[in-house]
Structure 1
């Protein structure tokens, strides 16, 4: 895409984050996040941020997800429940999930 002079937009980046989440590859998820930050895409975007949290949690990085979550402007029930609580429970850290409630 970029070699053809096209630049990924928000929709493309969300799709790439979802792909990284499915194959559980944190490196690619972080790469997409870095590109988004450098391009001014993704900030204060609930879908983008939730997709990023999902990558972190599925890749076993709940603390990274918590850091991103802490910087989110618009936290929703979905980002609280599905992303943060689920991430800690997946990593068998329920004691970290309880304070979120």
Structure 2
């Protein structure tokens, strides 16, 4: 996946701390620039409570997997239980910034 290589490069180049605090990096593509990975300043998630809980559970699951597997855990794609959303909605991917 070419996007994953871009993400790996961007994450490595931008990884770091701000005033001693590790900051979350948010990357994405727009509909107009699907081939250009952008570091986002802000990310807004808009959905119903069920979907937001599913997303929160996905993040928790990824965090647990990273704790268990460390640098061996690379990335995971969010798959919704709501029919059709995986084909029409945005792709949400969690990437381990420490992955090798």
Higher strand share: 2
TM range (shorter): under 0.3
Instruction: Work out which of the two has the higher radius of gyration on C-alpha atoms and give 1 or 2.
Output: 2
Higher helix share: 1
TM-score by length of 1: 0.27
